[in-house]
Structure 1
C-alpha cells in the first residue's frame, strides 16, 4: 500500500498511534525537526520547531513553536498516545544557516541555538538520538515513516546525481526574450489594481469596481477567501460580502494574490521544492514584507506586500529553460555552494532578477516595484534612500530560512548590515520572527490574510 505524506508545518507537531501507511514530513531550513518513535508500541510523531525559546513572552498559545516548550509538549502527547520513554528514539535535523553568512551574521544563527536546545532537552529526558544532521548551509527534509518507524534526512530538491556526465546547450538571448513575450501575462485588470495599490492613493470603491468587471478575478478572489477562511461555513458569495467579513486591507491583498496565483502556476519544477512552492514563497514573502514595513516604517505597507509578492516573477520565465539543466543547477547550488544568481548566470546568461525587471517594464509596473524586483538580492546596488528593496530582501531571507518551499537564496554581503538599514538589529530580528502570525511559514501562508489581528 502506498503511503500518504502529511507535511507538518512550523510551530506544530503531529503524533500518530499504530503502524499505518503515513509519512510525516517537514521541510527544514533554519527550523529544527524532531521525530520520535516508540519502537515497541509503533507510536511516533514529528515536531517542527521555529525558535529556541519565546522572545516576546507569548508561548502558551503555540508551544510547538519553541524548543523549550515544544519538546516537553511533544513528549507528553506521545506518552498520552501510549508511547513509553524507555522505548523512544529520536532523529534531529535542520538548524541551517541557509547560505554562506558573514561573521557579523553569526548573531542571527537562530537555527544553531534551536538545535542546541533540542539536544539539551532530549538529553534531560533521557531520549536517545539515533541520528542528527544539523547546521550547514542548505535546506533538508526530515521524514518519519509510521509504517516502518524509519527516518530519512534528505537534502531538499536533489533529484539527480550532480556528478553524472551531462551535456547542455544554453538558450540564446532571443530565446529568453521570446519566453518573456510568450508567458501568459497577469490579467490587465489585476495589473491596473496593482498600480492603484502601489500609488499609495488606492480608492477601494474604484478597485472593487475594476474587480467586478472581471468575472475570472472575482471568482479567483472568492475561491481564495472561501478556501482559506470559511471551510464548512456559509460561502462568501460576492465582493461586497468579502469586504464586510474581511475588511478592506485583507480583501485588496487577496485580490492581488489570487491573480498572481495562476501566474506562478506556470512554474513549479526546478525552483520549487514542493508543489506550489514558488507561489507559497511569494505569498509568505509578501506577508513578511508587509509586517516589516509596519514594524520599521521603512516602506508603505501595501507597496511592500505587492513587491514581496512579485519579487521572483523572473523565475517563472527561467524555469522552462533551467528545467533541462537540472544537474548543472543542483551541482552549482549544492556542491559548489554558489549563489542562485551566479548559477543562473552561468547556465542561462541571465538571472531571475534581470528577467523579472524586464517583465515589470513590459507590464508597466511602477518604478519602485521594478527596482525592488531587480535588486532584492543586492539592495545596496539600488537607489540611495530607497528602502523597499531592503524590505523585500529581508523578507525573502526570512522566508528562505524558515519556510523551505523553494531553493534558498543566499546573497553576498552581511545580512546584519542590511537589516540595520531598515532599523533592525539582531535582537529585533529574533523578536520580529517570534511575533509573526502563525501560519506564515506553513504550506498555505495565504490563510494569514484572513485572520484578525
Structure 2
C-alpha cells in the first residue's frame, strides 16, 4: 500500500480514536475569544475524572505554584484559557490513544517516555529562547508522534517494514518511511489531529516536525520540536540522528546557541525534569 492509498484509507476509517466530547467542546469554545470563563468552568466541571487529572497536572512541578490550586475556576484564572486548553488536550490524548495490539519492535512505554521527554525539552527550549509559547510547544512535543499509534493499529504491515529498515540500515524512522514511499507518521498524525479539531498551529507542528528547521519561518514550534526530538534521540543512542542548526531562523538560532554555550551541563538539568514528568504521566 503506497502513500496515497494509505491517506485515502485513513480518511475513510470510521473507528479512528476519538477525543472525548468535552475536549472537543473546550476546543470549540476557546476558538471563540468571547467565550466567558464561567461557561468554560461549567463545562469542565461536568467531567469529574478530567477535573481530578487537571488539578493534579496544575499542582505538579510543571507549573510550580507555591500554593495548592483546589478548583477549576482557580486553575483557569491562574493559567488562562490557552494553557487550560493545552492541559485538557494533553490529558484527553493520554486517555484516548490506546494500542489495539502489540507490535514487535514497538514498545508503548518507550513511545510515551520519548513523547514526554520531547515535550519537556521543547517547553524548556521555548522558554529559554522565548521563541514560542512554552505550554503550547509542550503539547506539540507530547503529540508529535501520535501518527505512530495509528500506524500500529491500522497499518501494522507498513510499520513493521519501517522498523525493520531502521534496524537493518541504521537510519532515522522518518528516513525509513521516505525510502518505503509510504504515508509518514507525521502525515498520519496531522490527519488525526484535524479529525480531533485541534488548533491549526498544533496540527501543523505535528505535520512538519521532521522538516521544522527548513520551515522555521512558517513554524517556529515545529522547529523547536524537531530540535528537541533530535536531541532526545541522540541522547538515547538512536542511530542516524545529528543536530544540525543550518537553516534555522536567527530568532531561534542565536539564543539557542547562546544557551547551549552558557551551560555545558544544561541537558543534565532538564533530564531531571524529564524523569519527574515521566513519573507523573505514569500515574495519570
- Work out whether the TM-score is over 0.5: yes
1:435 has 2:266 as partner: no
Tell me if 1:424 matches 2:256. yes
Q: Is the 8 A contact 2:186 2:208 kept in 1?
A: yes
Q: Which has the higher contact order (CA 8 A, sep 6+)?
A: 2
Q: Which residue of 2 aligns with 1:240?
A: 71
Structure 2 match to 1:217: 50
Equivalent residues of 1:265, 1:279 under 8 A apart: no
2-side partners of 1:387 and 1:430: how far apart? 24
Distance 1:191 1:387 in 2: 25
From the superposition, tell whether residues 192 and 295 of structure 1 become closer, same or farther in structure 2 (CA, over 3 Å): farther
CA distance in 1, matches of 2:92, 2:227: 24
**Cα 1:271–1:198 shift into 2, 3 Å:** farther
The alignment covers a number of residue pairs equal to: 266
Contact 1:356–1:374 at 8 Å: present in 2 too? Answer: yes
Q: Distance in 1 between matches of 2:229 and 2:31?
A: 19
Equivalent in the alignment of 1:121: none
User: Structure 2 vs 1, CA of residues 398 and 215 (structure 1 numbering), >3 Å: closer, same or farther?
Assistant: same
Compute the displacement of 1:316 (Å).
1.8
Match of 1:176 in 2: 10
Deviations 1:196-228 (A, max 9, x none): 7799999865543332123442355467789x7
Q: TM-score, structure 2 length as denominator?
A: 0.71
Measured at CA, do residues 403 and 383 of structure 1 come closer, stay the same or move farther in structure 2, by a change above 3 Å? closer
Answer yes or no: is the 8 Å Cα contact 1:286–1:308 preserved in 2.
Answer: yes
Residue equivalent to 2:135: 302
Q: Any residues of structure 2 matched to 1:77-92 within 5 Å, and which? A: none
Unaligned runs of 5+ in 2: 62-67
Distance 2:178 2:186 in 1: 11
Classify the secondary structure of the residue corresponding to 1:265: coil
Go from structure 1 to structure 2 and tell me whether the alpha carbon gap of 1:314 and 1:330 turns closer, same or farther (over 3 Å shift).
closer
* Structure with higher strand content: 1
Tell me if the contact between 1:197 and 1:303 (Cα under 8 Å) persists in the aligned partners.
no
Calculate the TM-score normalised by the size of structure 1: 0.48
Per-residue Cα deviation, 1:242-272 (whole angstroms, up to 9, x for no partner): 958xx648x9365432211122323774497
Aligned partner of residue 436 in structure 1, secondary structure: helix
Bigger Cα displacement from structure 2, 270-279 vs 330-339: 270-279
Who is 2:65 aligned against? none
Q: Distance in 1 between matches of 2:127 and 2:87?
A: 18
The match for 2:278 is 444
1:415 aligns with 2:244: yes
Q: Per-residue deviation at 1:300?
A: 1.4
Asked whether the 8 Å contact 2:120–2:277 carries over to 1, the reply is: no
CA contact (8 A) 1:379 1:390 kept: yes
Computed over aligned residues only, the root mean square deviation of the Cα atoms, in angstroms, reads: 4.3
Structure 1 or 2: more helix by fraction: 2
Cα drift, residue 377 of structure 1: 0.8
> Where does residue 197 of structure 2 map in the other structure?
364
User: What whole-Å deviation, never above 9, does each CA across 1:322-351 have from its counterpart, x for those lacking one?
Assistant: 434565333310221233123234557200
The answer as to whether partners of 1:376 and 1:392 remain within 8 angstroms in 2 is yes
- 1:433, distance to aligned residue in structure 2 (A): 1.6
